[in-house]
Amino acid sequence: MRPRLVLFGDSITEMSFQSGGWGAALTDRFARQADVVLRGLSGYNTRWALKVLPRAMEGAADADPAAITVFFGANDASLPDQVSAHQNVPLEEYQSNLRAICGYFKERWPSTAIILITPPPIYEPARIRLCRDIHGVDDPSRQAERTNEAAGSYAQACISVAKELGHPVIDIWTKMQEFPDWQTSALSDGLHFTPTGNQILFHEVVKTLASIGFSQESLPSDLPRYREIDPKDPMKAFEV
Cα gap 72→126, rounded to integer Å: 21
Q: What b/e readout covers 62-94, taking b as 16+ CB neighbours within 10 angstroms?
A: eebbbbbbbbbbbbbbbbeebbbeebbbebeeb
**In what side-by-side order are the strands of the sheet with 35-40?**
35-40, 4-9, 67-71, 113-117, 169-170
Would you call 84 a catalytic residue per the annotation? Answer: no
Instruction: For residue 86, indicate whether it is catalytic.
Output: no
Catalytic residue of the set 28, 133, 139, 189 = 189
Phi, psi at 238, each rounded to 5°: -100, 5
Rounded Cα distance between 54 and 45, Å, is 16
> Under 8 Å CB-to-CB from 167, ≥6 apart: which residues?
102, 113, 114, 115, 116
Helices (H), 124-168: 124-135, 148-165
Task: Identify the active-site residue in 10, 11, 16, 84.
Answer: 11
List all residues 6 or more positions away from 56 whose beta carbon is below 8 Å from its beta carbon.
Answer: 8, 39, 41, 49
Residue 221 is among the residues annotated as catalytic for this protein: no
- Say which of 10, 16, 84, 192 is annotated catalytic: 192
Q: Which value, to the nearest 10 degrees, does the dihedral of the CA atoms of residues 10, 13, 15, 16 take?
A: 170
Give catalytic residue positions. Answer: 11, 189, 192
